[in-house]
Structure 1
Amino acid sequence: MFFYLALITCVIAFTINFVLKGKPNIIDDEKVLILGASSGIGKQIALQYASRNANIILAARRTELLEQVKKECLALEKTKVVEVIKCDITNEDDLIAVVEKVKKVFGKLNTVIVNAGVINVLSFEDLLNNDKGIQGKDSDSSKAIDKIFKINTYGPIYAAKYFIPLLKETQGRFVVVSSLAALIAAPTRALYASSKHALMGFFNSLRMELADTGVSITLVCPGSVSDTDLRSSAIDKASSSATDNATPVTISEDKPKKEKKSLFSFLKITPAQCAKAIIEASDWRTKEVVVPRVYKVAVLANSLAPSLIELGAKLKYHFKK
């Protein structure tokens, strides 16, 4: 009963939104900055913008990967301007350097895509019981907590601090890649979900504050995306989501381990599909997008029947407690 009610409501809401939202605004010679463009979704965003003649600045920590993305963008022979700059989104000095790069190369800025994030895969209880070393780098759970909020929450906020002033000059678009976890929490994802919830709260408020400036704020909430290295960025461990083994392991950034398959595996989308949805959301200046769209039913059902969605989340993440 609740499922069908949620489905009908989603169909009605989607229809109304489609009728009212107008037309996409695709900018000729668009000046685009992508924060987090070295691989996965960010790389695909870069390639798709390059294929439509946009001028692009690629920013991330791993410049060797950015150079490869730049090479692939230029190989499309659609864009002539692709620049690379090293940037840690949690480092304000790096962001200031990117601002200067934008001013020097472009003079103005139309679109900012913030695609940076790390994940956790242990339950909070297991994380606290596992203070001997997080990913072989951090010494305790407090550092892991600090790290995930710095990257997932503070980093995008810092980006808004430095790039919104430039976007005001062009009535530009600020797009943040969030997560379905920002809308529906899940077991073994307490830190990740909370960092993304905070992110959503900030940018939903900022959107209202910027309403008279012409700057749009778009939040994109993907579900599971295949073939990305997000899992290898886990601040606690890289093995399965199950909590039967809380021993931390060293993680290879280039070869993330395979997840256990679940009933929900068919809902995964590719980085290219996700990138397409992100760019379309920017063009339409959409406030919030859930991809794939079928998850909108789950978001609404979470309000109507939260126990049902909690059960589904436990099944998805193989959580047996």
Structure 2
Amino acid sequence: MHVSCIQATMFSKTLHETLQFAQNSPLSTAACVLAVGLSTLYLFRSHRSRRTSKIIPARERVLILGATSGVGQAMAHKYASRGAFVCIVGRRQSKLDEVVQECEELCERGGFKDSVLGVRADCGDVQDMVRLRETLQKAWHGLDTLILTAGVSALQPLMSVAGVDMSSLDIIGSQASPEGIQHAVNAATAAVNGNFTGPYIAAITFIPLLSYTSTSPSVLLLSSVAAVIPPPTRSLYSATKSASLLLYQALSIEHPSINFTFFSQERSRVLSALLQSTTLPVSLVPKSTNLILSKTV
């Protein structure tokens, strides 16, 4: 039997077993997410070894949107340390310069140089993304890997964003004012721009470049547990992260030649939001929130 057939059979068996486990779990929704996540993570790892046979790690052309802090910065360091061509994108010039310098130092330690680019740009700005694409075409003649880690947090209950005090017994005083509603709309616009419009523009801008210039194109979207498990106090964040996750899942079907991966590693954030809610019964708080969501095509 061909190796790929064996892998497909093993994957199918693993998925079937984990879904059976999920059906017997009291937290069936979370369990199903975890089951599919673990199974597809297995498939992702088997694919990763095949990709390195097509693209030498030290020659990989990597674009990281939102690389000046957090996960994006850590990934930039990792790629730089193995000599990949890395383009770091962020909105704050001071942080951008700092991360570029860190990556250049890591490259030099490994015997590589002239492989790091730093571009100040906003993922939600069409002209910035087109300019970034032109920069990559001129410097690298293409792109192999697109990583999206940029995002916007929204941590308050929706009524609080609108200035409504739901603990008030006065129905007149607890109504949202026009100013409060507008403030909530402005907050939604910022969240949509950061968590959905940015990834949306990036997909349209870079998918053709990936498809036509890479022997093994790859897209990685940093998502969130909140995209699949709605947490209290994060309704706006949850809605916008879910939108971008579903968008990229649909794109993975529309573009089967591109390897799409979606992941999230969040232990304390979701759990903290759950525990801080005064309306959520303790019995509904999941014991584990360390989910890894991964899908590859």
Fold-level similarity (TM above 0.5): yes
Q: Does 1:287 align with 2:293?
A: no
2:100 aligns to what? 70
1:161 aligns to what? 204
Name the CA shift for 1:217/1:225 in 2 (closer, same or farther; >3 Å). Answer: farther
Measured against aligned partners, the alpha-carbon deviations of 1:221-241 in whole angstroms (never above 9, x if no partner) come to 232478xxxxxxxxxxxxx99
8 Å Cα contact 1:60/1:66 also seen in 2: yes
Q: Structure 1 stretch 123-132 or stretch 95-104: which is displaced more?
A: 123-132
Q: Structure 1 stretch 75-84 or stretch 89-98: which is displaced more?
A: 75-84
Q: CA deviation at 1:139?
A: 6.7
> 2:194, 2:69 → 1: CA distance?
16
Name the CA shift for 1:17/1:58 in 2 (closer, same or farther; >3 Å). Answer: closer
Q: How many residues align?
A: 240
8 Å Cα contact 1:34/1:58 also seen in 2: yes
1:119 aligns to what? 153
Q: Does 1:145 align with 2:203?
A: no
> 1:98, 1:13 → 2: CA distance?
32
1:48 aligns to what? 78
Q: Does 1:210 align with 2:255?
A: yes
Aligned pairs for 1:87-236 (under 5 A) are 87-129=121-163, 140-169=183-212, 170=214, 171-211=216-256, 214-224=257-267
Q: Does 1:37 align with 2:67?
A: yes
> 1:54, 1:267 → 2: CA distance?
33
Matched to 2:183, the amino acid is: D
| SS of equivalent residue, structure 2 residue 67 | coil
In percent, how many aligned pairs have the same letter? 27
> 1:180, 1:16 → 2: CA distance?
16
8 Å Cα contact 2:68/2:95 also seen in 1: yes
Does 1 or 2 have the higher relative contact order (CA < 8 Å, sep 6+)? 1
8 Å Cα contact 2:158/2:184 also seen in 1: no
> 1:205, 1:16 → 2: CA distance?
16
8 Å Cα contact 1:152/1:195 also seen in 2: yes
8 Å Cα contact 1:121/1:188 also seen in 2: yes
Matched to 1:85, the amino acid is: V
| SS of equivalent residue, structure 2 residue 155 | coil
Unaligned runs of at least 5 residues, structure 1? 227-239, 245-262, 270-276, 289-321
Q: CA deviation at 1:118?
A: 0.9
> 2:160, 2:40 → 1: CA distance?
45
Q: CA deviation at 1:133?
A: 8.5
Matched to 2:101, the amino acid is: K
Matched to 1:287, the amino acid is: T
**TM-score when scaled to structure 2?**
0.69
> 1:9, 1:243 → 2: CA distance?
23
Matched to 1:82, the amino acid is: V
Measured against aligned partners, the alpha-carbon deviations of 1:71-110 in whole angstroms (never above 9, x if no partner) come to 1111122342111111111110100110011011111100
| SS of equivalent residue, structure 2 residue 197 | helix
Unaligned runs of at least 5 residues, structure 2? 1-23, 165-176, 279-284
Matched to 1:56, the amino acid is: V
Aligned pairs for 1:247-266 (under 5 A) are none
Name the CA shift for 1:98/1:146 in 2 (closer, same or farther; >3 Å). Answer: same
> 1:51, 1:145 → 2: CA distance?
38
Q: Does 1:22 align with 2:46?
A: yes
> 2:190, 2:202 → 1: CA distance?
17
> 2:43, 2:182 → 1: CA distance?
53
CA RMSD of aligned residues (A): 3.7
